Amino acid sequence: MLVQAFVADAVGRYTHVAPVVSSFYAVRDLPYALDGAHDGVSLLRHGRGDCLAKSDLMMMAAGELGVPCRFVRWRYLLPEVVPEAAALPSRVDVHRTVQLKVGGSWLLADPTHHRGLRQTALTVSDWGGEHDTDPGYLPVGPLMIERVEPEAVRDALEEVRLWTASCPGALAAWRAAYSAWLRQYE
């Protein structure tokens, strides 16, 4: 019910584009936040969330519209927008977003960063439904399709888990600083 209402509202607000593009913009325009939701339904309830939440909501919206969608991931480097990033032993993380099958092609549709972040070092994507969006984070290594390459995704996530477990204090300081930095652009 929440997702149906979200999609209906998106289509009503962005009438000049295809419904799946309307949904992309509605998801994108919800604030990106590490300290927000981590899944699509919670994102609808709380109004802000991370790439997991935004990709999950985009997947659900595409499903409502009958548009095939799949999760994709890649390694990337955490942005150095706060000085606390320098204290991390690694900046490798794993990003998740979606590809939508439009016109017979799988297109990247990365709604991660909201438009309030446009004047920062983070990439805010626009999308017309004909080509890939810019990725929210530049890939370091190959793109991994979750259901096709689950072992590669698992290995990437384990790599991140290992380095983050080695520095709980530095990671907590970075997360707090980055979350505060992001909030100033909501």
At residue 16, the pLDDT reads 87
Q: Rounded to an integer, what distance in angstroms lies between the CA atom of residue 186 and that of residue 146?
A: 30
Give percent of the chain with pLDDT exceeding 90. 97
Chain center to CA of 77 = 14
| DSSP secondary structure code for residue 116 in this structure | G
Of 126, 106, 109, 4, residue with least CA distance to 65? 4
What would the pLDDT profile of 10-36 be if each residue is shown by its tens digit? 999 888 899 999 999 999 999 999 999
CB 124 within 8 A of CB 111: no
The token pair at 133 is 């969006």
What would the pLDDT profile of 83-98 be if each residue is shown by its tens digit? 999 999 999 999 999 9
At residue 137, the pLDDT reads 97
At residue 15, the pLDDT reads 86
Low-confidence ranges of the chain (pLDDT < 70): none
CA torsion through residues 146, 150, 153, 157, sign: positive
- pLDDT mean across residues, the chain: 96
- For Cα atoms 28, 130, 150, give the angle at the middle one, nearest 5 degrees: 65
At residue 1, the pLDDT reads 85
Q: Give the residue carrying structure tokens 């499903």.
A: 63
Domains contained in the chain, CATH given: 2-183 (3.10.620)
